[in-house]
Amino acid sequence: MRKSINIFRNFFLILGALFFCLMLMELTFQAYHFYVKQRTKYQSAEHPDMIYTVKPNVSREINTRGFRDREHSDQKPPGTTRILIIGDSVTRGYGIQDVADRYTDLLEERLHASGEKFEIINFGMDQYATVQQSRLLTEWGIAMQPDRLIISYVLNDPTSDGSINDFFLRENAPSMALHWMLKKINAIETPIFQPPVIPGCKSFDYYSKMHCDAEKWETVRSSFQKIRDLSIAHNFPVLLAVFPLLDEDPQATFQDYPWHAIHQQVLAEAQENGFDTLDLLPAFAKYKPVDLKIKTSDRLHPNELGHRTAADAIFTKLSSLNPKTSPKNSQITRGIDDE
């Protein structure tokens, strides 16, 4: 009898200790979260699918909508073709000191040189996945009355993984400490808890794995379908441009680029939804990856030359879709040789 009592007592002591530790972790997370949230440039989004946005006017570069762009009125100026570009930190211009050197701004400069009136609106948001971008278009983008939409697709777009997303998703969880622990547990790969995989899809790294993950890929497919429906309802065409990954090996070239199949998967899905498409890989392949990246260890973010290369390729594509933007007399004023 006494032995049973001791067992129960020890059990409840352990349970109480675990509960105390969990409560201590929770209070620590809550305090840290409050501290960081007061000082970060990000804020919770009104719509849960967007998760977060940037605080309006948080710096001189940030406009009243929280984008790294100049102010744009909801009402489109008469006689102006308005192009809305949605994307993540590549479109936002991560690592690019002067916004004039981003592909969005270079593209606008080149379009102006064609003699027509164009306005580029940059809706780039750090770490935004495709599902967040489609919701951003629904909530804010349609009100801008775009004549064309450009989707900037980067190969980490199927998932909203990332420190900023994790921070704000944790805020909405019933327990911040429990959310953190479950996140760590889910990161452990086991043969028992494997996500469903698209048949025939070859997974060999982080980027291919998320495109082979049937659930994550379905979020991309459904987001494309929502964008398609919006484009039909509001009568604007869509161009999807795929940005290549930049290999970390300083000696690497694009000849043996291992992510070709992912590009084709994304482009095929976009075409299935009636989007115009552009693979930026051939344009980037004129250089070595090391020549195009913002820093050696960064696979995602192009430098000024990379942005200029993207702007040239997108302009050429738009020219083929719209004769009014023909390349005559439309050289970018700061040429590559001027760097």
Q: What ranges do the domains of the chain cover?
A: 1-39, 43-338
**Residue 17, pLDDT score:** 80
**Residue 265, pLDDT score:** 98
Helix extents (H) in 77-145: 89-92, 103-113, 130-136
**Residue 212, pLDDT score:** 97
**Residue 324, pLDDT score:** 55
Query: Where are the extended beta strands (E) located within the chain?
Result: 42-44, 52-54, 81-87, 118-124, 148-153, 238-242, 276-279
What single-letter amino acid sits at 147?
D
Answer yes or no: CATH 3.40.50.1110 is held by domain 43-338: yes
**Residue 190, pLDDT score:** 55
Distances (CA, A) of 171 to 18, 34, 134, 193: 22, 10, 22, 26
pLDDT in tens, 184-225: 766 665 555 677 899 989 999 999 999 999 999 999 999 999
Q: Which residue stretches of the chain have pLDDT < 50?
A: 326-339
Single pTM value for the model? 0.87
**Residue 336, pLDDT score:** 32
**Residue 14, pLDDT score:** 79
Query: Which residues lie below 8 Å from residue 248, measured CB to CB, with a gap of 6+?
Result: 296, 297, 299
State how far the Cα of 189 lies from the Cα of 185, in Å rounded to an integer: 9
